[in-house]
Amino acid sequence: MWQDLIDILGKICAVYDDLGKLGERKRDALVSIDMKGLSKILDGEQLAAAKIQRLEKKRGAILLELSKMLKVNENIRAEEFYKKAPTSALKVKLMNLHWTLTQSVGRAVKLRDNNQILAQSALNAVRFHLNRLGGATINPTYGAKGTEGVTHEKKFDFKA
């Protein structure tokens, strides 16, 4: 059972590493405005998220069984739980995998946050240029709901 947990943690770490690589590629695609590449990356992220969800369900089931066997509270911290492994070699493997997973998840979250800022900035630039092309001007005040006040200039007068 402990070896199953080690295997699952290793697979989860691998998927988060892949997610981190996708996050780096996504950053490059956002900066270079590569929409086809971005679409492929988003598909890859969805697959990775589905894999993580399946693996987390398996991990949860294994942890539940182990916690019943060891008669420990389900809310125990991971580090404390891993210390209950039967051999020191298993303890070391579990602690290393836990550390690796923590680092991988942190990296993926950081890349996600940075990419979200890049995507929002790109959308703001697109909106600015669309408004400029359409003759829209932004008033320096905000509306009642916190939205920008936008007016459109009349570019020409056409009477049919």
Please write the tens of the pLDDT for every residue from 38-67: 889 889 999 999 999 999 999 888 888 878
State the residue for tokens 């949860």.
60
Q: Answer whether residue 97 is part of any domain.
A: yes
Backbone angles phi and psi of 133, in degrees to 5: -65, -35
Beta strands in the chain (DSSP E): 136-142, 148-152
Please tell me whether the overall predicted TM-score, pTM, comes out greater than 0.75 for this model. Answer: no
Contacts of 82 (CB under 8 A, 6+ apart): 91, 94, 95, 98
Please write the tens of the pLDDT for every residue from 71-114: 877 777 877 777 777 888 888 888 888 899 889 988 988 988 88
Supply the CATH number for residue 121's domain: 1.20.58
Instruction: Locate 1 and state its tokens.
Output: 């059972």
Q: Answer whether residue 144 is part of any domain.
A: no
Check residue 134 and report its DSSP letter. Answer: T
Highest mean pLDDT: which range of 24-33, 73-82, 149-158: 24-33
CA angle 8/101/39 to nearest 5° reads 90
Q: Answer whether residue 55 is part of any domain.
A: yes
Q: What is the pLDDT of residue 158?
A: 52
Backbone angles phi and psi of 138, in degrees to 5: -100, 125
Which structural domain range is residue 64 located in? 2-138
> Is residue 111 a contact partner of residue 45, using CB atoms and an 8 Å limit?
no
Q: Answer whether residue 73 is part of any domain.
A: yes
Q: Answer whether residue 66 is part of any domain.
A: yes
| Beta-bridge partner residues of 98 | none
Q: Answer whether residue 128 is part of any domain.
A: yes
Q: Answer whether residue 143 is part of any domain.
A: no
Q: Answer whether residue 23 is part of any domain.
A: yes
